[in-house]
Structure 1
Amino acid sequence: MMTLYTFGPAFGLPDMSPFVTKTELLLKMAGCDYRCQTGGYAKAPKGKMPYLHTGDAVIDDSTLIRFYLEQSHQINFDAALSPAERGIAWAFEKMLEEHLYYISLRDRWAIDANFNKGPRKIFKRIPALIRGFVIWKVRRKMNTKLRIQGIALHKEADIIQLAKKDLDALADFLADKTYLMGDTLCAADATVYAFMRSALCPLFDSATHEYALSKPNLIAYCDRISKKFYPEG
């Protein structure tokens, strides 16, 4: 049985990381036999989650895990798509993973009220004597990451505008379709679901969250996939 190393459910989400949720949904879509294991962050090969232990190898990136499933388990997530449609689906995945993700990360880690409601709780097991220093160090590292990526260099109004453009593009393309590319799930749906669940998380107050709530088709999309793959809530 394969083991998926995760952070674990948090903030009312299947996992605090959308990349973990994406990967677990791919495993569910593929019908794979797997189990989730928390507490493996210290041994993460690239210092990030998720990673998948197959018994023979460790796959240490959500997209590389997808490729592994396709190549080693003969699963074609995009079998119903034309080459052009596959390109569109891939572009939406990268928009969410390489752009909207950093806005969401900034909303959670750089806004004090959101940090205190969410990420701060990650550190509760650290001894109180050093907890404050560790939190300061990790937040500084996160803020540096956001500045290097570029999103933290923008004004608040510009960040909001960028987030809205992403959500508009996704909602307009989804329209009234059941899934991103039509009536059949594809690999990109795992990514879209994970990142929209994150954006719609009611715990965090942000313009991104408020704007996502204004898109009824994105809400309905998440509800459909939740009922299909996460009926327990």
Structure 2
Amino acid sequence: MITLYGFGPTFGLPEASPYVTKTEVQLKLLGLPYRKERARPDLSPKGQLPFIDDDGARVADSHFIREHLERKYGKDLDAGLDARQRAEAWAIERMLENHFVATSGYARWLIPENFEKGPAHFVDGAPEELRPKLREELLARVRENYRALGVARHSEEEIVALGVRSLTALSALLGDRPYLFGGRPAGVDATAFAALAGILTPFFDSPLRRRAEGFANLVAYTARLMREFYPDHPWEAPRQGA
């Protein structure tokens, strides 16, 4: 039995981490039975979530989890895609995970109101007298990570512009198709869904979220995949602006 370790549902999402969501949706697409448990990142072989335990084999990082699952179980999430489409899927995934998720993560972590109502509560399990210091240390680590990525070196206006550039590209690539490559989902649809749900959740308000709500096809795509993969999760469809 495969066990998937993640943060669990929070922030109006079935899972806090877009990378855990990506892996969970890919498990569903592969038709593999699994169970899900909460875990701390420090319990992972790479110090981050997700990771899986597959009958004793512990694999961390959503990309390498996918490789492991496809190899072990003889399945291909991109079956039916030609070489060019596979290359495009990889480029889309890198745009989302190496670029867009950083801009949406900024909105979640480094807008003070969002941090206070969301990630600040990650330390709620600690003794009350330690929580203020732990929150400060957590925020400092995340801020430094975003500076290392380059995102936190920009103004908020510039960060939003970068995020919108990725949303515009993704919207054009999706067009009016149900999935990114036509009538059936590919592996990258799990990545796109997870990234979009993370910015569109109504739990956090941000300029980037308000801009994301203006992409009607992306809003509809996210709502449709939420119904498909998390039918029991209540999802408040964002308003679609201009």
Same fold (TM over 0.5): yes
**Mapping for residues 54-69 of structure 1, pairs under 5 Å:** 54-69=54-69
Correspondence 1:7-26 to 2 at 5 A: 7-26=7-26
Residue 148 (structure 2) pairs with residue 148 (structure 1): yes
What are the superposed Cα offsets for residues 120-141 of structure 1, whole Å, 9 maximum, x if unpaired? 1211111111111111111101
Q: Distance in 2 between matches of 1:156 and 1:18?
A: 22
- What TM-score comes out, normalization by structure 2 length? 0.94
Three-state SS of the structure 2 residue aligned to 1:180 is: coil
The residue number in structure 1 matching 2:89 is 89
Say whether the 8 Å CA contact 1:80–1:184 is kept in structure 2. no
**Aligned amino acid, residue 22 of structure 1:** K
Aligned to 1:187: 187
Partner of 1:221: 221
Q: Which amino acid aligns with 1:36?
A: K
The CA RMSD measured in Å over matched residues stands at 1.0
1:164 maps to which residue?
164
Correspondence for 2:176: 176
- Is 1:39 the counterpart of 2:39? The answer is yes
CA distance in 2, matches of 1:58, 1:6: 14
CA distance in 2 between partners of 1:42 and 1:81 (Å): 37
Long gaps (5+) in structure 1:
none
Number of residues of Structure 1 aligned to a counterpart in Structure 2? 233
1:5 lines up with 2:5 in the alignment: yes
Give the drift of 1:104.
Answer: 1.5
Report the Cα distance in structure 1 between the residues aligned to 2:175 and 2:218, rounded to whole angstroms: 9
- Alpha-carbon distance between aligned partners in 2 of 1:40 and 1:142, rounded to the nearest angstrom: 16
Amino acid in the other structure paired with 1:41? P
User: Which amino acid is the alignment partner of residue 195 of structure 1?
Assistant: A
Check if 1:204 corresponds to 2:207: no
